[in-house]
């Protein structure tokens, strides 16, 4: 009897539910198309009203959209990524305040729109909300007839970089540029050296810190900032990347004095002769003359430029005096007949190139090497290193410390010198540059990019996936793994996402949102181990085209790479399975992120970042490898 009653109650309950599940969203017809409820049971839930409102917005039925957005907000107030509808696996991205703000925008109610959009961003920041907030603020400033301002750009450089006369001098491989841009009309875009700096949203004050990898030479770097009304400012910084030491030209050596010239582009050169500072005038090309002890057999010269680049040489006074006599003979050769002059050139001492280190047929791992050496002879009048002509006067010995930027693979370096008599010397060096073992892509954190799910409108998701993979590959930050069942390697994480297309006000809005999920734990990866704000990285643009998909893939890639930077450092201490490391930190480092431990030629283990100590150093738990073989000479790099 009890079982029968139970069944009757269940049936009555179902009938009651079916009776209540009637759509109360009236149809709104525009251009022959109905907007409102799309079918199914209308359960008077917050998500039912929300879906009706989205449909009304798409059909530009804005009054109805507002009514149903207000009803959904009454039932569920906060905007939220992945709001649970019912059960464990039914979620929806719920942004009623954002959509309400967009409706107010198209109704020209800009003040109300700004209030709703700011509230949405406070609850759960989204690219679409920021996109429309910019449009609202722009319209409000136009209505207020504000005069267009120009952003104020302030740039600062690190302490180890010298600035003078508006120019920056540095020997660093990576040049850090920091700055702040301010504008009451909201900074909307900042370019550094013609490359956009990543910005989450427009703001009245934007601070940045970027690393520029610059080659040897002078670089004009423009920082261009723009505000929402189109006001633009440009600030130029001149960066002189100088990794070469001064050139020392020794012209004359006697028992008690030495003289010659110094050359350096920086215009500030100091000189020590036998550890005694010599007086040298300011300038790029300056003479020097100083007394030396008559009993000294060797003469040590150290020339230093304004940023510390050195050129060192030790010469034998006896050999130098011998070359002086040859120089006098060479000068008198101008009075000889042609036959005698030819005989002199054939029998005089030819120039010789002597290197401090033998770089020929060597393998290096640095981006730059410094060739240190000298050219010896009589009346040497020209020196070329890789077609760079050093403007040197005639001398006995020309000493150089020249920086060479290397490409990955084989590098051919040419050194040439001639003397006044026409004698010529040429030396060719082959230097092979390889990528450090610790920096190879095969040790990076592995990611499988999956096909994004297509929601609310058809988009070529396969083409978007291809664009996204290309962007990730070009950054070389992650190791890409094919997301298929036949793969030989399981990825450490999967990049999953959605792409949506909605019509609104004669435009097509395309929204992409994605998340990086750790394969082993299924947790969503963020800066913090559990970070609700890191659920999705999202981007938004209007108008659908191939270029739009490319831009969206680039922007979403920038967001992930900003959140997971590739940083490296050095080990400073260790104890049992704990390693202490200093990491150059320009960005936040995600909690519990793994690091690779090794050198240019070998990997010694892996570790996991635990936290920071009071000195700002990172405490790393050794996961694989032996602590006893790891030393303070080893490097660490984020996986």
Whether 370 and 243 have beta carbons less than 8 Å apart is answered as: yes
Cα–Cα distance between 245 and 268 in angstroms, integer? 11
Tokens 């435009």 found at: 507
- Predicted confidence at residue 343, as pLDDT, reads 42
pLDDT in tens, 418-428: 998 889 899 99
Average pLDDT over residues 597-611: 92
Q: Which residue has the higher pLDDT, 133 or 565?
A: 133
Cα–Cα distance between 49 and 616 in angstroms, integer? 50
CATH topology (fold) of 20-143: 1.25.40
Helices (H), 490-543: none
**Per-residue tokens: 164:** 């003078």
Q: Which residue has the higher pLDDT, 226 or 501?
A: 226
Q: Is the pLDDT of residue 391 over 70?
A: yes
- Are 250-258+280-434 and 568-638 in the same CATH fold? no
Q: Is the pLDDT of residue 512 over 90?
A: yes
- 3-class SS at 16? helix
Tokens 């047929």 found at: 361
Cα–Cα distance between 456 and 388 in angstroms, integer? 60
CATH topology (fold) of 152-241: Immunoglobulin-like (2.60.40)
- Predicted confidence at residue 409, as pLDDT, reads 95
Nearest to 310 by CA among 318, 322, 302: 302
Q: Is the pLDDT of residue 157 over 60?
A: yes
Nearest to 590 by CA among 527, 638, 545: 527
Cα–Cα distance between 420 and 427 in angstroms, integer? 19
Which residues neighbour 90 within 8 Å (Cβ) at sequence distance 6 or greater?
84
Q: Which range, of 344-353, 511-520, 616-625, averages the lowest pLDDT?
A: 344-353
Cα–Cα distance between 128 and 542 in angstroms, integer? 10
Average pLDDT over residues 355-369: 90
Instruction: Give kind and range of the element (H or E) at residue 248.
Output: strand 247-253
Q: CA 270, 275, 280: angle at the middle one, nearest 5?
A: 25
Q: Is the pLDDT of residue 558 over 90?
A: yes
Q: Is the pLDDT of residue 520 over 80?
A: yes
Cα–Cα distance between 472 and 22 in angstroms, integer? 48
Longest Cα–Cα distance of the chain, Å, equals 136
* 16 pLDDT tier (thresholds 50, 70, 90): very low
Which residues neighbour 608 within 8 Å (Cβ) at sequence distance 6 or greater?
592, 593, 594, 595, 620, 621, 623
Q: Which range, of 88-92, 263-267, 527-531, averages the lowest pLDDT?
A: 527-531
Structurally, at CATH architecture level, domain 568-638 sits in Beta Barrel (2.40)
Whether 105 and 136 have beta carbons less than 8 Å apart is answered as: yes
- Predicted confidence at residue 628, as pLDDT, reads 82
439-563 carries CATH number 3.40.50.10070 = yes
Average pLDDT over residues 517-538: 72
Task: Give the domain ranges of the chain.
Answer: 20-143, 152-241, 250-258+280-434, 439-563, 568-638
**Per-residue tokens: 97:** 């305040």
Q: At what angle do helices 62-75 and 46-58 cross, to 10 degrees?
A: 160
DSSP 525: P
CB atoms within 10 A of CB 440: 14
Write the class of the CATH domain 250-258+280-434: mainly beta
Backbone dihedral region for residue 145 (phi beyond 0: left; psi -120 to 50: alpha; all else: beta)? left
Q: How far is CA 37 from CA 10, 40, 54, 323, 502, in A?
A: 28, 8, 10, 98, 16
**Per-residue tokens: 56:** 């009304």
């Amino acid at each position: 009897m009890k079982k029968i009653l139970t069944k009757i109650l269940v049936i009555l309950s179902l009938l009651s539910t079916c009776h209540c599940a009637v759509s109360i969203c009236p149809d709104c017809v525009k251009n022959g198309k109905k907007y409102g409820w799309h079918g199914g049971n209308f359960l008077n839930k917050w998500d039912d009203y929300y879906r009706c409102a989205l449909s009304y917005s798409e059909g530009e039925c804005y009054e109805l959209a507002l009514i149903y957005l207000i009803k959904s907000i009454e039932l569920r107030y906060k905007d939220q990524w992945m709001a649970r509808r019912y059960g464990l696996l039914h979620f929806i991205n719920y942004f009623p305040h954002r959509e309400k703000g967009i409706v107010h925008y198209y109704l020209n109610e800009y003040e109300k729109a700004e209030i709703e959009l700011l509230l949405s961003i406070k609850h759960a920041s989204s690219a679409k909300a920021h996109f429309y907030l910019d449009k609202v603020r722009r319209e409000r400033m136009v209505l207020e007839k504000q005069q267009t301002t120009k952003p104020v750009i302030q740039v600062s450089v690190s302490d180890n970089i010298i600035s003078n006369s508006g120019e920056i001098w540095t020997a660093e491989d990576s040049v850090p540029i920091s700055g702040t841009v301010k504008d009451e009309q909201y900074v909307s875009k900042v370019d550094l050296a013609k490359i956009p700096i990543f910005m989450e949203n427009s703001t009245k004050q934007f601070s940045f810190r970027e690393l520029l990898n610059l080659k040897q030479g002078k670089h004009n770097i423009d920082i261009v900032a723009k505000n929402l009304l189109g006001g633009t400012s440009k600030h130029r910084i001149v960066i002189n990347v100088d990794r070469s030491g001064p050139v020392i030209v020794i012209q004359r050596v006697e028992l008690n004095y030495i003289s010659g010239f110094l050359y350096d582009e920086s215009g500030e050169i100091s000189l020590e002769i036998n550890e005694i500072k010599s007086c040298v005038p300011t300038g790029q090309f300056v003479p020097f003359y100083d007394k030396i002890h008559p009993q000294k057999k060797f003469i040590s010269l150290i020339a230093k430029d304004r940023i510390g680049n050195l050129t060192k040489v030790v010469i034998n006074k006896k050999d130098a005096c011998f070359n002086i006599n040859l120089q006098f003979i060479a000068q008198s050769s101008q009075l000889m007949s042609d036959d005698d002059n030819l005989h002199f050139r054939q029998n005089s001492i030819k120039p010789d190139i002597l290197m401090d280190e033998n770089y020929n047929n060597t393998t290096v791992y640095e981006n730059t090497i410094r060739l240190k050496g000298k050219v010896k002879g009589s009346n040497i009048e020209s020196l070329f290193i890789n077609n760079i002509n050093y403007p040197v006067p005639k001398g006995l010995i020309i000493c150089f410390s020249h920086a060479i930027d290397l490409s990955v693979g084989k590098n051919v370096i040419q050194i040439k010198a001639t003397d006044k008599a026409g004698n010529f010397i040429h030396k060719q060096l082959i230097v092979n540059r390889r990528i450090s073992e610790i920096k190879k892509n095969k040790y990076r954190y592995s990611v499988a990019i999956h096909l994004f799910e297509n929601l609310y409108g058809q988009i070529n998701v396969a083409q978007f996936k291809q664009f996204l993979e290309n962007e990730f590959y070009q950054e070389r930050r992650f190791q890409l793994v094919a997301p298929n069942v036949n793969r030989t390697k399981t990825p450490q994480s999967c990049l999953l996402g959605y792409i949506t297309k909605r019509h609104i006000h004669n435009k097509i809005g395309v929204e992409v949102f994605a998340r990086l999920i750790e394969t082993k734990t299924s947790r969503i990866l963020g800066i913090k181990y559990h970070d609700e704000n890191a659920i999705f990285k999202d981007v938004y643009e209007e108008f659908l085209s191939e270029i739009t998909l490319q831009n969206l893939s680039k922007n979403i890639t920038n967001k992930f790479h900003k959140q997971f930077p590739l940083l490296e450092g050095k080990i400073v201490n260790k104890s049992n399975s704990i390693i202490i490391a200093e990491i150059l930190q320009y960005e936040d480092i995600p909690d519990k992120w793994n690091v690779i431990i090794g050198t240019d030629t070998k990997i010694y283990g892996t570790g996991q970042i635990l936290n920071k100590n009071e000195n700002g150093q990172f405490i790393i738990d050794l996961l694989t490898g032996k602590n006893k073989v790891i030393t303070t000479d080893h490097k660490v790099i984020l996986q």
